[in-house]
Amino acid sequence: MNERELDWATWMRAAEAGDTRAYRRLLDELSVFLRRVVRRRGGFGVDDAEVEDVVQEALLAIHLKRGTWDPAQPVGPWVATIARNKLTDALRRRGRRIAVPIEDVEEMLAAPQEEDGLSAHETDRLLSVLKGRQHDVVRSISLEGADIRATATKLGMTEGAVRVALHRGLSALSVAYRSFRE
Amino acid sequence: MRTSDLIAAMAADAGTPPARLGRTFALALALAVVGAALVFAVKLGPRPDVVDALGTVRFPFKFAVTGAFAAAAALLALRLARPGASPRGGALAFLAAVALLGAGVLAELSATPGATWAPRLVGHNWLVCLINVPVLSAIPLAALLIALRRGAPASPRLAGAVAGVLAGAIGATFYAAHCPDDSPLFVAVWYTLAVAIVATAGAVAGSRLLRW
């Protein structure tokens, strides 16, 4: 296990104990790692928004399936396997759209490596699939950047209800990704 | 949506910790055994000469075989459901269980005259075996599949099939206490076929239920 993975494992355990900041740091680092993996394995002809779709889908899977991580196991191979499985699905789904013009290769080499402002297509569409409270809560906490308490106040819900709606909303997003595939 | 926005939502959700797959799986395994035991107690019960049978070689050997398959399938199912875990140990355990059954068959073939092989293989109760093993395995299969929904198998169909082998082996373990046929030849053919039925059901169900 290298140093980075030791960090990841530490943050993962901290997150399990309820440390939101550690978890956020972990997800930030994982998204950079995933983006690199998806760009490399996805080949050329996959544009940035599509890369970001796969990154977000993989992040959601990592989040929802984090109970499958065994603390005795290194985090790297666990993350990489989830990413590979999601990437395989995503490429199959987009199979026909992938072409490899040489201009794209050159463009990608020159592409700026901005890591934060990247936006995905599908999640916007998927967010609109969510209904009622789940939609309001996920939207408030993601796009509007509110925390649980502020969201609860704004929507006139208890914090517990916000947590439940958030968790169900994220699960529903993941299911929506999957059903887009079929 | 920007990825950082999605991360914000997931970080806010960190307060809802997930159930650990290993723990959920262990709980499901316990439920599976209890469920099969209940159905066994209500529907079948042990055969009348069970105490005497324990003193023989062939009767306990059935439990060694079904137990070995159950242990191997449990190990393999858990590994398959865990991204990045190597399924090698589980696969080796599975081969060991197959080898144990094979050794039993060879021992039976060398210890008994050829003329008795056919009646030993056909036994008294093969249809009862083919029906009851899947019946005893139904609750175990349901419990195990529900638990494995927390997993993330690369192949939902394969994970479902292995869960089916595990459920089938649990069902077969209980059925073995009821079944009057003890020859390894009978076990190799009919138990295997019965477990294969459950494994097929597991594969079909798994390919739908275990996607993630």
CB pairs under 8 A between A and B: 135
* Shared domain check, A143 and A77: no
* Shared domain check, A104 and A133: no
More confident residue, B167 or A17: B167
Residues of chain B with Cβ-Cβ distance to A123 below 8 Å are 1, 6
The answer to whether B85 contacts A73, with C-beta atoms less than 8 Å apart, is yes
Angle B46-B47-B50 from CA coordinates, rounded to 5° = 85
Q: What is the CATH number of the domain that holds A86?
A: 1.10.1740.10
Query: Taking 50 as the threshold, does the pLDDT of residue A99 lie above it?
Result: no
Residue A82: what residue type?
I
By the 8 A CB rule, do B83 and A68 touch?
yes
Of A78, A118, A170, which has the smallest distance from its Cβ to B3's Cβ? A118
> Does some domain include residue A68?
yes
> Does some domain include residue B108?
yes
Number of domains forming the structure of chain A: 2
Burial degree of B137 (CB within 10 A; 0-12, 13-18, 19+): buried
Residues of chain A with Cβ-Cβ distance to B22 below 8 Å are 70
Query: Taking 90 as the threshold, does the pLDDT of residue A109 lie above it?
Result: no
By the 8 A CB rule, do A16 and B17 touch?
yes
Among A86, A109, A132, which residue terminates a domain?
Answer: A109
Q: What is the mean pLDDT of residues B15-43?
A: 93
Among B182, B171, B39, smallest CA distance to B124 is for B182
Q: What is the mean pLDDT of residues A37-61?
A: 79
Q: What is the mean pLDDT of residues A172-179?
A: 84
Residue B79 C-alpha, separation from nearest chain A C-alpha, in angstroms: 10
Kindly state whether A158 is in contact with chain B, defined as any CB-CB distance less than 8 angstroms: no
Dump pLDDT digits (tens) for B155-165.
999 999 999 99
* Shared domain check, A90 and A33: yes
Those residues with Cβ within 8 angstroms of residue B4's Cβ, 6 or more apart along the chain or in another chain: A28, A116
* Shared domain check, A103 and A169: no
Lowest mean pLDDT among A73-87, A99-113, B52-66: A99-113
Kindly state whether A145 is in contact with chain B, defined as any CB-CB distance less than 8 angstroms: yes
Residue B21 C-alpha, separation from nearest chain A C-alpha, in angstroms: 5
Residue A120's pLDDT is: 65
Residue A182's pLDDT is: 56
Number of domains forming the structure of chain B: 1
The answer to whether B11 contacts A81, with C-beta atoms less than 8 Å apart, is no
> Does some domain include residue A86?
yes
Select from A13, A60, A68 the residue whose CB has the most chain B CBs within 10 Å, as the one to mutate to test that interface. A68
Residue B156 C-alpha, separation from nearest chain A C-alpha, in angstroms: 12
Residue B8 C-alpha, separation from nearest chain A C-alpha, in angstroms: 6
Residue A81's pLDDT is: 87
* Shared domain check, A100 and A37: yes
Residues A121-128: contacts with CB within 8 Å, 24+ apart?
A121/A49, A121/A50, A121/A52, A121/A53, A122/A53, A122/A56, A122/A57, A122/A177, A122/A180, A123/A53, A123/A56, A123/A173, A123/B1, A123/B6, A124/B1, A126/A173, A126/A176, A126/A177, A126/A180, A127/A173, A127/B1
Query: Taking 70 as the threshold, does the pLDDT of residue A95 lie above it?
Result: no
> Does some domain include residue B7?
no
> Does some domain include residue A180?
yes
The answer to whether B7 contacts A28, with C-beta atoms less than 8 Å apart, is yes
Please give the distance of CA A94 from its chain centroid, rounded to a whole number.
18
* Shared domain check, A143 and A85: no
* Shared domain check, A81 and A30: yes
Query: Taking 60 as the threshold, does the pLDDT of residue A105 lie above it?
Result: no
Residue A100's pLDDT is: 42
Residue B108's pLDDT is: 95
Model confidence at A102, pLDDT cuts 50, 70, 90, reads: very low
Average pLDDT over chain A, rounded to an integer: 79
Residue B43's pLDDT is: 93
Share of chain B above pLDDT 70, in %: 100
Q: What domain range is A177 assigned to?
A: 121-182
Kindly state whether A166 is in contact with chain B, defined as any CB-CB distance less than 8 angstroms: yes
> Does some domain include residue B13?
no
Select from B2, B6, B24, B25 the residue whose CB has the most chain A CBs within 10 Å, as the one to mutate to test that interface. B6
Query: Taking 90 as the threshold, does the pLDDT of residue B92 lie above it?
Result: yes
* Shared domain check, A125 and A100: no
> Does some domain include residue B5?
no
Average pLDDT over chain B, rounded to an integer: 94
Among A46, A74, A109, which residue terminates a domain?
Answer: A109
In this prediction, does ipTM exceed 0.85?
A: no
* Shared domain check, A126 and A76: no
Among B32, B23, B28, smallest CA distance to B173 is for B32
> Does some domain include residue A41?
yes
Residues of chain B with Cβ-Cβ distance to A16 below 8 Å are 17
DSSP element (H, E) containing A171: helix A159-180
> Does some domain include residue B8?
no
More confident residue, A125 or B101: B101
Kindly state whether A124 is in contact with chain B, defined as any CB-CB distance less than 8 angstroms: yes
* Shared domain check, A57 and A6: yes
The answer to whether A28 contacts B81, with C-beta atoms less than 8 Å apart, is no
d(CA A112, CA B60): 68
Residue A121's pLDDT is: 67
Among A109, A141, A165, which residue terminates a domain?
Answer: A109
Residue A6's pLDDT is: 76
> Does some domain include residue B199?
yes
Which chain B residue lies closest to A171 (C-alpha atoms)? B212
Which structure tokens are listed for B4?
Answer: 């950082």
Which structure tokens are listed for A11?
Answer: 């943050």
> Does some domain include residue A114?
no
Lowest mean pLDDT among A11-15, B85-89, B105-109: A11-15
> Does some domain include residue A116?
no
Residues 81-120 of A with CB under 8 A from B: 81-82, 85, 116-120
